[in-house]
Amino acid sequence: MSLAYGIPNILYVKVKNAVFSWDDKTAEGILKNINLEVKKEELTAIVGTVGSGKSSLLGSILGEMHKISGKVKICGATAYVAQSSWIQNGTIEENILFGLPMNTEKYREVIRVCCLEKDLEMMEFGDQTEIGERGINLSGGQKQQI
């Protein structure tokens, strides 16, 4: 069994006996005694009632919470799409580039992998379409894709 970042290559995420808090001044954790293993190439669902800590759990794994004790190991890169999209008032292109210089080849690849080609074809001004305040001119799915 080979190891990457100290965990077997069948695991992507391992959390062991971890306690997390939203600030580093609180000795008592919000999430306590967390144990979790997310395996490679398996679908993992985090489910629970409203306010049960699903988003906090994901935030703890991503390093957005302070780890008070325990261990968190992540093999490889992590990505996270928030429940609500952050969109700036501007064009679709400006939102995709987010201040970076245009690299046409990479930009076209982003459009393709985010499945935006058909959406842009249907818009009169394509990627020069103004999104509007908080993405008012887009659907929820389009906001997530952008």
Q: Kindly state the average pLDDT of the residues 97-110.
A: 95
Predicted confidence band at 34 (pLDDT cuts at 50, 70, 90)?
very high
- Region 29-45: mean pLDDT is 87
Residues 59-69: pLDDT tens digits? Answer: 898 888 999 99
| CB proximity list for 64: less than 8 A, separation 6 or greater | none
Give the pLDDT confidence score for residue 2 in this predicted structure: 42
Tell me the H-state helices in the chain.
54-61, 92-97, 104-113, 117-122, 140-145
CA distances from 119 to 112, 114, 116, 124, 126 (A): 11, 11, 5, 10, 8
Quickly count helices (H) and strands (E) in the chain: 5, 5
Mean pLDDT of the chain: 85
Q: What is the pTM for the complete model shown?
A: 0.53
Q: DSSP of 107-135, one letter per residue?
A: HHHHHHHTT-HHHHHHSTTGGG-B--GGG
The predicted pLDDT at position 9 comes to 61
Q: What is the mean pLDDT of residues 105-120?
A: 94
What six digits make up the tokens of 107?
């930009």
Q: Is the pLDDT of residue 24 over 80?
A: no
pLDDT tens readout for residues 127-141: 999 998 878 888 888
pLDDT in tens, 5-19: 555 567 688 999 999
Quote the radius of gyration of the chain (alpha carbons, Å).
Answer: 19
Question: Could you state, in order of their start, the residue ranges of all structural domains in the chain?
Answer: 3-74, 92-145
